[in-house]
Structure 1
Amino acid sequence: MKVQLLNLAAQYNKIKSEVLREIKAVCDSQHYVLGKNVAGLEAEIAAYCGARHAIGVASGTDAILLALMAVGVKQGDKVATTPFTFFATAGSIARLGAIPVFVDIDPRTYNIDPDALASVIKKTKGIKAVIPVHLYGQCAEMVPINAVCKKNRIAVIEDAAQSIGAEYRGKKAGAIGDIGCFSFYPTKNLGCFGDGGMVTTDNDRFADRLRMLRVHGSRVRYYHDEIGANSRLDEVQAAVLRVKLKYLDKWTEARVKNAERYTKLFKKAGLEGAITLPHVEEWNYSVYNQYVIRVKKRDEMRGWLSGEGVGSEVYYPLCLHMQKCFKYLGYRKGAFPASETAAKEVLALPIYSELKPVEQEYVVAKIAEFHNR
């Protein structure tokens, strides 16, 4: 048996006729930029997340970049975030000439440690914004993060690229901080047919700036208030996403059921001592963009699984403070032990909504075989 890490074709085949119909309608209209589908999707995402505004942009990376610009981050400013995340989070900070200030993670949730963040804010001058990342589909601990940031007049930008639909104490990701950033990369729970992103906010001023910044800093055509970016979600991608959004909650529920099944299977196989299962706080609703286990012999086990036909991935094998391009920041190995240990041990297993119970049983059986050799 072969079990793919992700099977996008299984999802596409179920909605193919709807998607192709909407793509054809866009092609027939010959209106490809900032049209009715983008406006419609923006309204639908805003309602879905419980935010006043949603602004479509070209990618999840641009969502973070423009959010930073919207809150006024400039060269020399400092922005605190986690070193255990996708590169775009810190890369967007650096692109503006700002300085990433890394904060270690909670080893159970993989999200930024709010106590460590408070300590860093207390001893570091010039922090303009904080980017908590809702990693793997679970929201960061936002109450203390918002509290310390409000006290110090620091903007909170949620990196919710992996967490559309996730909830924290009854509020959805993207509507908890000052601004929320989403990615519609194809592997996300709500993915388009290329790159796409969305920024959400309740702040009218931020929303106005975001709409201006995504079109070269222009509010009136050919008149430019600031140097912005060319970052617009196109009509084709918006049309695809509007079809998919209708199914998102159903797909998410299937992911949650798959996660619950994995946990039961691992416990039944007696593997709790050999691997660490995902931890979700009781006040969180995780959408399981990834189902991530921890194992000491991670790379060896991953090689074994590959040989047995099981797909897996490591998110992420090298922390950002250890990346060559961030050497200039001066961090050394050992600076963030929880993040560095996670990078050596985490392994993502197949979790997509169309995954079959028999496939999950096979995955768990092969992991048991590895540990019982």
Structure 2
Amino acid sequence: MEFIDLQAQLATMRENIDRRIAKVLDHGQFIMGPEVSELEERLADYVGVEHCISCANGTDALQLSLMALGVGANDIVFTTAFSFFATAEVIPLVGATPYFVDINEETYNICPISLEQAIIACKAAGKGIPRAVIAVDLFGMPANYPELRLICDKYDLHLIEDGAQSFGGSISGKKCGSFGDIATTSFFPAKPLGCYGDGGAIFTNNQDLAEQCRSMRVHGKGDHKYQNIRIGLNSRLDTIQAAILLEKLQQFPTELERRNYISKKYASALRADLVHQKASAGFTSAWALYTVSGISESRQSYLDRLSAQGIPSGIYYPVCLHRQPAMQDALAEPCKKAEAASQKAFSIPMHPYMSDQDIDHVINGLSQ
């Protein structure tokens, strides 16, 4: 059994993917070829925003977003303490300071109450200028954007959606990638919509932000490639990866249905001492990962039980961001719930090509 089975996925669409790659090889426009603009149009339409700007990876998408918003030296960016390092890494890369806040224990996502406490504390301490919030849709579950928007509006902060794991998720029918002033996603192979290399995208309804991101992903390009009107990055999506994503996007709705089917099976049948990630009313996850926390045994005992049955598992994430050595100069609220999750949470197999037999094997494996 595979934790995420990319080979099973490839087997279902290999012929069409090969055909799309061959077309790119034939026309030879390997950088910013026609498939890139076609993909951007289709992704924008799927998410329901005016602009999609593809780039080299999800980390660059976040950094470009911060740059477009003008976040820099002496600015404070608030974010969750429980996420992959890239969420926080981009903040000092633009010269700003991260301020880590705690999570909601039921969703693993940023806690609005902890966020507002951090904003108030930051303003009182005068340690920098509060400028933005990066909310993460962890494991595919949208963060609480209705509440986050109220807080950001109240304190005049930019709201950035880190949707690296949540493409396909939604709140009351509104898709992930459409929340906040600007949103990002990742096409890393293991993501719900992944390519066969690195890739990322930025989503926004703001024309000015879109134009800046399009410029900055190509070295701050102006009217032509040898005119540079701002400092930027080299962050273009390869045409071959765009071609692969175009093919995968056609299959994506079916895959998303299967992910939700599996999540419901897990939620109804897994042993009672496992706490599941919970969705609020109207919230739909993309289920990039299915993560639980044990309450009656140590995490290692659950992992050992799975391993004995030949079932893979993963730990996301064993170290909170505010505990990372590279973040020793960051600010942080008390993050007790995030730290508890880092010690208890673990993920079990989740991908749309799991058979019902595989699902039952995982359920039974945890019950041994």
Q: What TM bracket, shorter-length normalisation?
A: over 0.9
Alignment partner of 1:263 is 2:267:
yes
Q: 2:201 aligns with which of 198, 202, 221?
A: 198
Shift of 1:265: 2.0
In the TM superposition, 1:277-356 aligns within 5 A as 277-295=276-294, 296-329=297-330, 335-356=334-355
Q: Quick one: distance in 2 between partners of 1:311 and 1:80? A: 34
- Give the SS at the match of 2:313: coil
2:357 pairs with 1:358: yes
Aligned pairs (5 A) from 1:27-42: 27-42=25-40
Paired amino acid for 1:180? A
- 1:244 counterpart letter in structure 2: K
Matches within 5 A, 1:180-219: 180-219=183-222
State the 1:360 CA deviation.
1.4
Superposed CA offset, 1:33-59 (max 9, x none): 112100000000000000000000000
Q: The residue matched to 1:246 in structure 2 has which SS?
A: helix
CA displacement at 1:203 relative to structure 2: 0.2
CA shift digits 1:297-349 (9 cap, x unpaired): 11232133123210110110110000111122365xx9300000011111111
Give 1:1-373 correspondences, 5 Å limit.
3-125=1-123, 126-220=129-223, 221-266=225-270, 271-272=271-272, 274-295=273-294, 296-329=297-330, 335-369=334-368
Shift of residue 119 of structure 1? Answer: 1.9
Counterparts of 1:301 and 1:42 in 2: how far apart (Å)? 42
Give the counterpart letter for 1:123 in structure 2: A
Q: TM-score scaled to structure 2, two decimals?
A: 0.95
Q: How far 1:368 sits from its partner (Å)?
A: 0.8
Paired amino acid for 1:254: R
Structure 1 CA distance for aligned equivalents of residues 12 and 53 of structure 2: 28
Give the match's secondary structure for 1:78: strand
Mapped contact 2:98–2:331 kept (Cα < 8 A): no
The count of corresponding residues between Structure 1 and Structure 2 is 360
Summarize the Cα distance change of 1:330–1:38 in structure 2 as closer, same or farther, 3 Å threshold: closer
For residues 118 and 69 of structure 2, what CA distance do their matches in structure 1 show? Answer: 20
Per-residue deviation, residues 86-131 of structure 1 (Å, max 9, x unmatched): 1000001111121000110000000001122122222323111100
Q: In 1, distance between residues paired with 2:331 and 2:170?
A: 36
Q: Percent identity?
A: 36
Counterpart of 1:223 in 2: which secondary structure? coil
Partner amino acid, structure 1, of 2:300: D
In 2, Cα distance between equivalents of 1:263 and 1:147: 31
SS in 2 for 1:293: strand
Name the aligned partner's letter for residue 205 of structure 1. D
TM-score scaled by length of structure 1: 0.94
Equivalent residue letter for 1:327: Q
In structure 2, the gaps of 5 or more residues are 124-128
- RMSD of Structure 2 on Structure 1 (CA): 1.2
1: CA distance, partners of 2:103 / 2:231: 35
Q: Are the aligned partners of 2:100 and 2:331 in contact in 1 as well (CA < 8 Å)?
A: no
User: For residues 199 and 28 of structure 1, what CA distance do their matches in structure 2 show?
Assistant: 28
Could you say what secondary structure the match of 1:177 adopts?
coil
Judged with a 3 Å threshold, the aligned counterparts in structure 2 of structure 1 residues 330 and 172 are, in CA distance, closer, same or farther, namely closer
Q: Distance in 1 between matches of 2:323 and 2:361?
A: 36
Deviation at 1:71, TM superposition (A): 0.4
